Amino acid sequence: MKYQRIKSELYIKNREKFTSSMESNTLAVFNSNDIFPISADSTMPFEQHRDILHLTGVDQEESILVLFPDSSNPKHKEVLFLKETSELIAIWEGEKLDKKNAFEVSGIKTVYWLQDFPVIFKQMMSEADGIYLNTNEHLRAKTEVETREDRFIKKVKSDYPAHKTYKSAPIMHKIRSVKDPIEIELMQRACNITKAGINRLLKYIKPGVWEHHIEAELVHEFIMNSSKGFAYTPIIASGKNACVLHYIENNKECKDGDVILLDVGAEYANYASDLTRCIPVNGRFTDRQKEVYNAVLHVKKEAEKLLVPGVMMADYHKQVGHLMEEQLVNLKLISLDDIKNQNPDWPAYKKYFMHGTSHFIGLDTHDVGLWNEPIEAGMVFTCEPGIYIPEEGLGIRLEDDLVVQQSGSPFNLMSDIPLEVEEIEDAMNS
């Protein structure tokens, strides 16, 4: 781990939030992710399942958490099962959590080795009436890969058909959507690392650099600052590439006169930051580039003010659509007639702004959250309007990460990363 240990009080609180929503005499099980194979003996770097991480801080494969608040055995109210380690095993496998360290990380007193799971789990299930299973209910999740959670769910359903089953996902979405101050601090740190990367780039970018050189500069800065690297696959898109929303090739030369769209964010301690800035390759925007840039910036500033407690995300997105509509008319990209005759299911502004404005962010970049409940203080959202004009070889998106406050505008975790046209030009030319 490149990050400093996080206070176990965060995980103790998170488990209390989960268990307070459980039905009586039930247990809940959370599995870590697998280490994904490539081929031969190669594997992908490990990424912990965000739910077990949120509840324990255990950032290690082959780990299981069982919560059983009504267990008759006080030692079994919360239990961690971990891959066995010892001084001898550590010589081959590297440092893994021993029982003492696992307690220090998670605050969980009962830690068993994984091989004890079948017997102890059977004892617990014989006492419980039901079990919470952790399915992936993120609206945009699509994967053909069977996860450790999936395999566990199949086995439980086959071995214990008479038990009631419940969904962990809605509880996890609820408790993960409002961030603890400890989490906000970690997210601020991720944003600060991203800031260091952008400041480095403002001195580096000039005509003739390649998109992947920019990627390399960023990853150097991120890892030097104790991040594992990018929180998501970076988009470094110069000129017309910026109009491809999921452009990740990052393999073109940046040309004089083009703008580069940088959708890049560092992770820290598995927390994501998600930023977009648009930078003129030669250090100066043209008048037209400035005009489009400032239209997006206006929408962003106005949209941010709408991220306040009580607002529904669907209404927020509708209002941002109107803000964008107005700017696109000013830019002569759409007309009032286009708006009058538009298909309400695909309004005219969607031709140039075809994605959503905000998503939850946290342990996942597109974090789980309560999409159909009013916004609450402590939720963290991105705000990322954009205008994409392929016929002009220009795409502008601007994105910051914002913490909703009890009252007033949200707190911007990226407020000191250059954003105004003049700030960007000054930093590039100083």
Q: Please report, as ranges, the residues that interact with ligand GLY according to CB under 6 A.
A: 232, 263, 274, 359, 365, 384, 399
Question: What does the chain come to in residues?
Answer: 430
Q: With respect to ligand GLY, which residue has the nearer C-beta, 6 or 264?
A: 264
Q: With respect to ligand GLY, which residue has the nearer C-beta, 267 or 399?
A: 399
Minimal distance in Å, beta carbon 317 to ligand GLY? 14
Which entry of ligand GLY, Mn ion, none binds 270, CB below 5 to 8 A by partner kind? none
Minimal distance in Å, beta carbon 365 to ligand GLY? 6
Question: Does 194 sit near Mn ion (CB under 5 A)?
Answer: no
112 membership: H or E segment, kind and range: strand 110-113
Which residue, 266, 198, 238, 234, is CA-closest to 423? 198
In degrees rounded to 5, what are phi and psi of residue 428? Answer: -75, -25
CA torsion 37→43→49→55, rounded to 10°?
130
Minimal distance in Å, beta carbon 278 to ligand GLY? 13
3-state secondary structure 178-198: ECCHHHHHHHHHHHHHHHHHH
Angle 313-330/287-304 helices, nearest 10 degrees? 160
Question: Does 274 sit near Mn ion (CB under 5 A)?
Answer: yes
3-state secondary structure 368-413: CCCCCCCCCCCEEEEECCEEEEHHHCEEEECEEEEECCCCCCCEEC
Cα separation, 427 vs 430, in Å, equals 5
Residue 420 to residues 248, 250, 290, 295, 398: CA-CA distances in angstroms?
Answer: 25, 25, 10, 12, 10
In degrees rounded to 5, what are phi and psi of residue 94? Answer: 85, -175
Amino acid at 84: E
Quick check: 421 and 202 in contact, CB under 8 A? no
Q: With respect to ligand GLY, which residue has the nearer C-beta, 149 or 399?
A: 399
Q: With respect to ligand GLY, which residue has the nearer C-beta, 232 or 411?
A: 232
Minimal distance in Å, beta carbon 414 to Mn ion? 11
CA angle 208, 211, 216 (to 5 degrees): 110
Q: With respect to Mn ion, which residue has the nearer C-beta, 15 or 179?
A: 179
Q: With respect to ligand GLY, which residue has the nearer C-beta, 252 or 277?
A: 277
Q: With respect to ligand GLY, which residue has the nearer C-beta, 258 or 263?
A: 263
Q: With respect to ligand GLY, which residue has the nearer C-beta, 124 or 231?
A: 231
Cα separation, 378 vs 175, in Å, equals 11
With residues binned 3-state (H G I as helix, E B as strand, rest as coil), the percentages for the chain, rounded to 5, are 40, 20, 40
- List of residues 6+ apart from 423 with CB closer than 8 A: none
Minimal distance in Å, beta carbon 381 to ligand GLY? 11
Q: With respect to Mn ion, which residue has the nearer C-beta, 34 or 399?
A: 399
Question: Does 267 sit near Mn ion (CB under 5 A)?
Answer: no
219's tokens: 């990853």
Which entry of Mn ion, ligand GLY, none binds 232, CB below 5 to 8 A by partner kind? ligand GLY
Minimal distance in Å, beta carbon 124 to Mn ion? 40
Q: With respect to Mn ion, which residue has the nearer C-beta, 325 or 367?
A: 367
Which entry of Mn ion, ligand GLY, none binds 367, CB below 5 to 8 A by partner kind? none
Which entry of ligand GLY, Mn ion, none binds 258, CB below 5 to 8 A by partner kind? none
309's tokens: 């407690």
Q: Which residue in the set 51, 149, 211, 263 belongs to the binding site for Mn ion (CB under 5 A)?
A: 263
Q: Which residue in the set 61, 382, 389, 401 belongs to the binding site for Mn ion (CB under 5 A)?
A: 382
Minimal distance in Å, beta carbon 12 to Mn ion? 31
* Listed ranges 59-67, 99-107, 299-307, 378-386: which one lies at the site for Mn ion (CB under 5 A): 378-386
User: Which residues is 411 bridged to in the sheet?
Assistant: 403
Site string for Mn ion, 94-113 (x = CB under 5 A): --------------------
Minimal distance in Å, beta carbon 370 to Mn ion? 18
Residues lying near Mn ion in the complex (CB under 5 A) are found at 263, 274, 382, 399
